[in-house]
Amino acid sequence: MIFPERFPSTFLYPRMISRRKSLQTIATGLCAAFGSSMLPGWAQAASTFSGGPRRVIFFLQNQGFDPATCIPDSMRNSGSLAGVKLPEPIEALEPHKEKLHIINGLHGLHTSPAHSAFFGALGGYRGSDGVPPSAPTIDHALSKALPETLLPHLCIGMDSMENMTAKPTVANLSASGAGQPIFMHSNPNHLYQMLYGGISKGEIRNRHEARTSMFDRIEQLAGNKGETLRGETKQRYDHYVQGFQAVNGLRERLGEVSEHLRHFAPAVDDRYTQPEFETDWHDVLLDLGISALKSGVTSVLTVGSGRGEIFGSWKGLGVEKQGHNLGHMKQADNPIWVKIRQYNSRMLVKLMEELESVPEGSGTMMDNTLIVYTSNNADAQHTNGATWPVMLLGNCNGAFKTGRFTQLDGSRPINALYASILRASGVNADRFNMSEKLSKKFDSKTGPLREVLV
């Protein structure tokens, strides 16, 4: 059973890695991504990891995920996807049907999603606007279970240009513990500087060095000024100091593998500095997330399209309506929502194809990856969470069933799916963030979903 007290609280990043462990951590992440033969001198420093996923990607589209937009018309009961045609909104996944598992009938009644479940969507607990997380979310829990990397958990958030510019970071979906949100990166220029500023030239390098100097100075000032603080104020202050230490430590560790990172840094073009539409930034944010996965820098990527709220904009797709109004439209057979869901599906295909292009072990990176696509808002913007559709992509070395549609009876919560992913990742979890008392009310069984795992 997984409960919050098992996970230490942190600020900004899921965990801090000491300089003494830096080389071991680098080796672990890179060897997990490319095998120990790539770095033979560090092979013994890397921890071993067998079976299950080595990386997990969560992709959450806001405003809900109507089951009618993903379930083939001819399917009413569980069965194989072979021989059936996928609905128009997800038709881009048709060539990858053998890797797909569509699941309907999970619920999130206990999360009270309403306009959004916010942290509760990935936490499997009650969430709401302005309410801090009450426990770690599944993406962070997995970052603790999977082989250690330099940046165990990367979150990116896609929104309107106005919101991404005004709020380049926002925390609505992921958390490392109770009251400990993890921020999403929404400005690709800032994220690029963080990941690749040390190997860049010109203005990007200048900004990287300026930000590094600023963070160093803030860390020094913060560390010197907290000696007289007491109690909760002291604890809260220490979290901020640790946050700056984590940022500075990450920059230093990334610098130690700069030559390796040089092979994965995306080319910077006008979409970064002169985007025509917000989708230009969405696209390059995804590129940065993919590069972090392929380089071995991170093992868990969370993508928040709409950033876990009721906002969001897709003018680059020819969709003029945005934000809250999109949630008041039906999704099935709606040309606007077809465009948005097709855009998501193309992103999922890109994730798969990029990971399939990189050898890993006897297969590819995609063979050891699980992609979870759903919404932070169950099936619709205004919902009680009675049904929460999910699509899984990838079987992770045969751990997950694929090429199927599964219709559940609505008696098992999203927590059961999260416990299943943890189980496949080597964690002996029968429940996730659900006490025995709560499970008696909201879960008909104990343990993972038999319908999902092989």
State the average pLDDT for the chain: 84
Going by C-beta distance under 8 Å and a sequence separation of 6 or more, which residues neighbour residue 55? 146, 293, 298, 299, 300, 301, 365, 368, 369, 370
pLDDT in tens, 169-207: 999 999 999 999 999 999 999 999 888 886 655 665 565
- Interval 269-294: pLDDT, tens: 999 999 999 999 999 999 999 999 99
Percent of the chain with pLDDT over 90: 68
Give the per-residue pLDDT at 250: 73
Q: Per the confidence metrics, is the pTM higher than 0.75?
A: yes
Task: Name the pLDDT band for 262 (thresholds 50, 70, 90).
Answer: confident
Residue 44 lies in a domain: no
- What are the pLDDT digits (tens) for 362-372? 999 999 999 99
pLDDT, average across residues 384-411: 96
In a domain, 122, yes or no: yes
Distance of CA 421 to the CA centre of its chain: 14
Q: Answer yes or no: is 454 within a domain.
A: no
| Domain containing residue 177: CATH number | 3.40.720.10
Q: Does pLDDT of 224 surpass 60?
A: no
**In this structure, is residue 56 part of a structural domain?**
yes
Asked, for residue 36, whether it belongs to a domain, the answer is no
Q: Kindly tell me if the per-residue pLDDT of 18 is higher than 60.
A: no
How many domains, in total, are found in the chain? 1
Question: Is 255 in contact with 191 (CB distance < 8 Å)?
Answer: no
Q: Is 186 helix (H, G, I), strand (E, B) or coil?
A: coil
pLDDT beyond 50 at 21: no
Residue range 288-314, pLDDT digits in tens: 999 999 999 999 999 999 999 999 999
Does some domain include residue 244? Answer: no
Dump pLDDT digits (tens) for 30-83.
454 444 333 332 233 233 344 568 899 999 999 999 999 999 998 999 999 999
Q: Which long-range contacts (CB under 8 A, 24 or more apart) does 313-321 make?
A: 313/159, 313/160, 313/161, 313/278, 314/278, 314/279, 314/339, 314/340, 314/343, 315/277, 315/278, 315/279, 316/276, 316/277, 316/278, 316/279, 316/280, 316/282, 317/279, 317/343
* Least confident stretch, 12-26, 121-135, 228-242, 327-341: 12-26
Asked if the structure places residue 355 within a domain, the reply is yes
What per-residue confidence (pLDDT) applies to 244?
A: 45
Residue 439: phi and psi, rounded to 5, are -65, -30
Could you list the residue range(s) of the whole structural domain that residue 57 is in?
52-188+273-435
Strand order of the β-sheet with 369-375 is 79-80, 404-413, 100-107, 390-393, 369-375, 55-61, 300-305, 153-158, 180-185, 169-177
Please name the amino acid found at residue 117: A
In a domain, 143, yes or no: yes
Q: How far is it, in rounded angstroms, from Cα 134 to Cα 250?
A: 27
* Strand, coil or helix: 313: coil
Confidence (pLDDT) at 227: 59
User: For residue 254, what pLDDT band results from cuts at 50, 70 and 90?
Assistant: confident
